[in-house]
Amino acid sequence: MKKVKAAVLTGVKKMEIREFPKPEVKAEDALLKVLFCGVCGTDPHLYEGRLPVPYPIVQGHEFCGIIEEMGAKFPKKDMVGKPIKEGDRVVVLAAYNCGECYVCKYYPQRNNLCENGQVYGITIQCTNPPHLFGGFAEYVYLTPKVELYKFPDDIETETIILTDPLAVALRGLELACQPGLPWAGEGFGLTKTVIIQGLGTIGILAAAGAKTMGARKIIGIDGVEKRINMAKKFGVDEVIDISKFNSSQDIINEALRLTDGMGADLVVELAGVPVAFKQGIEMTRRGGKFIELGHFTNAGEISINPSTICFREIDITGVWAYPLSEFVTSARMLEMTKDKFPYSTLVTHKFDVLDAEKAILAATDKTCIKAVVEGK
C-alpha cells in the first residue's frame, strides 16, 4: 500500500515526519494532492505551544492542490458554484463551522466566531484514519465540510495560496467600512488615508486591499528593508522605517506629519506587539477607525490612557480570522488584481514536506515574507 508523508506536531517544538497509508476515499469525500501549503503567522505560535492544539496534528491550514480522487457523493461544485472534477486545482478553505451553536444560528454573518469551529492543521488530531487533516503533507483528506475555490488556470499557484492571509486582511478593511458613510467621514472608503503597522504578509496584502478599495495614501510602518521594499510594490506610498527613529513619540510624530497633522482615517495594527497598539491609537485621526488585527496570541500588555480614546473619539475594532464569505471576496480580489500586484513574489521560501519544521522556523525570520511547504 502506498504511504503518504506528513509533518506531525507531537508536542511543543516537536515535529516529526510520519508515514500514513494512502486512504481509501469514501463516497462523500475526496483526496487532494497538495501543491503548496503556506506557513501562516499562527504556525510558529502553534509550534512553540502558545495556542493549545490536540496533539498529534498534521500542521498547515493554508493549502491548495489537485483533486486526485473524488467520491461519487462529494460536491461537484466549488463554493461559488463552479463545477469541479478530478484533476482540478483548488484552494481549500480549511476552517468550518458547526452550523448549530448560538453564533452559527443567530449571528451567521460572524460564523468565524463559531463555538465549535474546526480548522484543518490546527484542531483535528491525526491519530485515527484517514489521518490526513493538515496541509504539511503530500495529501489531504477532504470531507464535504470544507469549501473549495477553483481559480482560472492563468493564475499562478504561488498567488492563489495567498487567499487565506488576504481574507484576514480584507476582513479588517471591510469592518473599517462601517457604517458606510465615507462622504461624511464615517468609515473607510474612497480617498481615505491608511496607516498599516507591520509589513509582514498580511500587512502587505492589506496595503493591496486598501489600494484596491480606493485609499488615497497608504503609509506602511516596519523596520525591515526587504519587507519595506516589497510593500512599495503593493500600494504602500510612504514608509516609516522604525529602525531610523529613536523614540515611540518620534514615530507617532512622523505619522502625523505624513497625514497633515491629523492622523490617518484608518490605522490597521498588524505588528502584533502591544506598543504598536498604543502608538496606533495616537496615529488615528479624531473620529477615525483603528483595526486591531495583529494580536492573535497573547503578546503581553501595555498601559493605555483611556482619555486618548475619548479625546480622539475613535472606533477600535478587533478581528478574529474571517467569516467564510470573506474567502470568496479574497479569491475574487486575487483574480481581479493578479496583474496589478506581483503576488507570487511574496513567496520567498519553499520547502519540501520533509523540511516542514525548517519552513516554520524560516517564517519567524524577518527576511522571509511567505514560506510555503510543497506537497512532495
Return d(Cα 120, Cα 107) in angstroms, integer: 23
Which C-beta is closer to Zn ion: that of 104 or that of 173?
A: 104
The CB-of-62 to Zn ion minimum distance in angstroms stands at 5
Cell of 244: 531610523
Return d(Cα 369, Cα 293) in angstroms, integer: 18
Candidates 18-26, 159-167, 271-279, 293-301: pick the segment binding Zn ion (CB under 5 A).
Answer: 159-167
Candidates 5-13, 28-36, 106-114, 282-290: pick the segment binding Zn ion (CB under 5 A).
Answer: 106-114
Residue 114 touching Zn ion (CB under 5 A): yes
Residue 101 touching Zn ion (CB under 5 A): yes
Candidates 3-11, 95-103, 238-246, 286-294: pick the segment binding Zn ion (CB under 5 A).
Answer: 95-103
Cell of 155: 493564475
Residue 169 touching Zn ion (CB under 5 A): no
Which C-beta is closer to Zn ion: that of 253 or that of 297?
A: 297
Residue 170 touching Zn ion (CB under 5 A): no
Which C-beta is closer to Zn ion: that of 101 or that of 316?
A: 101
The CB-of-61 to Zn ion minimum distance in angstroms stands at 6
Q: How many CA atoms lie within 13 A of 265 on its CB side?
A: 24
Residue 97 touching Zn ion (CB under 5 A): yes
Q: How many CA atoms lie within 13 A of 293 on its CB side?
A: 35
- Per-residue exposure over 55-93, b if at least 16 CB sit within 10 Å of its own CB, e if not: ebbbbbbbbbbbbebbbeebeeebbeeeebeeebbbbbb
32: Cβ–Cβ under 8 A, 6 or more apart, which residues? 63, 65, 66, 67, 68, 90, 92, 139, 140, 141, 142
Which C-beta is closer to Zn ion: that of 167 or that of 258?
A: 167
| Binding mask of the shown chain, residues 213 to 242, with x at each position contacting Zn ion by CB under 5 A | ------------------------------
Return d(Cα 270, Cα 171) in angstroms, integer: 13
- Site size toward Zn ion (CB under 5 A) is 7
Please give the C-alpha separations between residue 135 and each of 16, 76, 315, in angstroms, as whole numbers: 14, 22, 37
Cell of 123: 484542531
The CB-of-286 to Zn ion minimum distance in angstroms stands at 34
Please give the C-alpha separations between residue 266 and each of 215, 236, 262, 263, 279, in angstroms, as whole numbers: 10, 14, 11, 8, 13
Which of 51, 66, 98, 309 touches Zn ion by CB under 5 A?
98
The CB-of-166 to Zn ion minimum distance in angstroms stands at 11
CA-based radius of gyration for the chain: 21
Which C-beta is closer to Zn ion: that of 113 or that of 256?
A: 113
The CB-of-128 to Zn ion minimum distance in angstroms stands at 23
Which C-beta is closer to Zn ion: that of 74 or that of 327?
A: 327
Residue 259 touching Zn ion (CB under 5 A): no
Identify residues 30-49 at the interface with Zn ion (CB under 5 A): 40
Residue 173 touching Zn ion (CB under 5 A): no
The CB-of-273 to Zn ion minimum distance in angstroms stands at 19
Candidates 44-52, 113-121, 221-229, 368-376: pick the segment binding Zn ion (CB under 5 A).
Answer: 113-121
Return d(Cα 237, Cα 207) in angstroms, integer: 9
The CB-of-138 to Zn ion minimum distance in angstroms stands at 20
Residue 51 touching Zn ion (CB under 5 A): no
Contact status, residue 123 vs residue 195, Cβ threshold 8 Å: no
Candidates 15-23, 153-161, 162-170, 368-376: pick the segment binding Zn ion (CB under 5 A).
Answer: 162-170
Which C-beta is closer to Zn ion: that of 114 or that of 224?
A: 114
- What does DSSP assign to residue 108? G
Residue 15 touching Zn ion (CB under 5 A): no
Place of cell 502584533: 272
Which C-beta is closer to Zn ion: that of 40 or that of 196?
A: 40
Distance of CA 200 to the CA centre of its chain: 10
Place of cell 499562478: 156
| Positions that interact with Zn ion (CB under 5 A) | 40, 97-98, 101, 104, 114, 164
